[in-house]
Amino acid sequence: MNGNPVFTITALLVLFVSVTFAGPQELDQPRTYTVARSSSYRVDGGNADRVEVPPKGSYTAAELSGAGRIVHMWFTIATDEPNYLRTTKIKIYWDRKREPAVDVPFGDFHVLGHGLIRQVQSALITVVARPHLNHNLANKNVGGFNSYFPMPFGSGARVVIENTSNRPIRALYYHINYQKWEAAPSPLRFHARYHETPAEPYPGAAAGRREAKNPSGHDNHLILDVKGRGHFLGVVLSVDALGAGWWEGDEMIWVDGENRPSIHGTGTEDYFGGAWGFRQEYNRPYHGISVLQRVASREDWRAGKFTVYRFHLNDPISFTRSLKISIERGHNNHRRDCTYSSVAYWYQG
């Protein structure tokens, strides 16, 4: 076997999970839809299959009518903006709604926080990045960004790339693959929401002692607070950590207006599938650490920039009236001096 065996095994796992998620028993069944694509392809047959997005401007990558389902999106971006993963946004609108159901920084949507590029191999998001090999590119932090969330719609869909920076996106390449249906294949709509909790003054180590209690979760980082009916699919959490102990924070999940969370975790690293802190980057189909970057000025080895993810493909959290999800910033929120940001993914009807 050629190449990196760990990468090869991970790729095979992703392929296995993707086939399993689709349902192998359904692979030989007739399809009742037709396939289509919206892309940056040049209709005149030229090779410059790209579009430009001006500073403080936006570009509609797909304007779809009727009923259907987006099944795959691929993008790559070339720009001189070093922080383009954060200054570029992806917005998606369903069924002629004026408010976007998806409004997220481009990198964070693709499981990459802090504006940092990495390889990602998960069941729903993959990123192909090899900056050390991009010798011919001025901005080496580029990649191929793929998402495989099923995104049904009933009367149209619109996918927009927004450039909030002062520099142009010189080249936006994209494929948006979708199905055309006679009627919406599902009553649910895909949503993604970004939320950030800024750093606050450090309250001191005493606030995080074992005997300290936080039953209400009042000062937690909020991941999602939504009303309606649907199910929660997963989260990407990025932490700019100034010191130890931030991973002691528990997740708390209130379903349908509960007074106390019926789902209460035992620590951040536990919810994200690890244990005993976060030590190295790794990718798994349902959970992983996509970014772990030390900061030289921070002496504590447990400090740095982290992005972790968890997908609930086999254990979605359903709700009929409301759902609230938050996570402590360290035990009893004693690491509120760390900046927290997150992307929540969910379906709602």
Q: Given this model, what pLDDT does residue 20 score?
A: 44
- Residue 37 CA to residue 52 CA, distance in Å, equals 19
Domains 31-185 and 190-348 share a fold: yes
The residue among 80, 77, 72 whose CA lies nearest residue 50 is 77
Indicate the domain borders of the chain: 31-185, 190-348
The CATH class of the 31-185 domain is: mainly beta
Q: Do residues 335 and 203 touch, judged by C-beta distance below 8 A?
A: no
Q: Given this model, what pLDDT does residue 184 score?
A: 97
Protein fold of 190-348: Jelly Rolls (2.60.120)
Segments of the chain with pLDDT less than 70? 1-25
Give the pair of three-digit tokens for residue 333. 């929120």
DSSP 20-71: HHH-GGGTTSPP-SEEEEEE---TTS-S---EEE-TT-EEEEEEE-SEEEEE
Give the pair of three-digit tokens for residue 271. 């919810």
Q: Given this model, what pLDDT does residue 239 score?
A: 98
Q: Given this model, what pLDDT does residue 12 score?
A: 40
Q: Given this model, what pLDDT does residue 1 score?
A: 41
- Residue 184 CA to residue 196 CA, distance in Å, equals 33
Tens digits of residue pLDDT in 78-97: 999 999 999 999 999 999 99
Q: Given this model, what pLDDT does residue 25 score?
A: 65
Q: Do residues 269 and 289 touch, judged by C-beta distance below 8 A?
A: no
Q: Given this model, what pLDDT does residue 18 score?
A: 43
Q: What Cα–Cα distance (Å) separates residue 345 from each residue in 108, 195, 219?
A: 11, 12, 22
Helix (H, G, I), strand (E, B) or coil at 308: strand
Q: Given this model, what pLDDT does residue 118 score?
A: 97
DSSP assigned state of 249: P
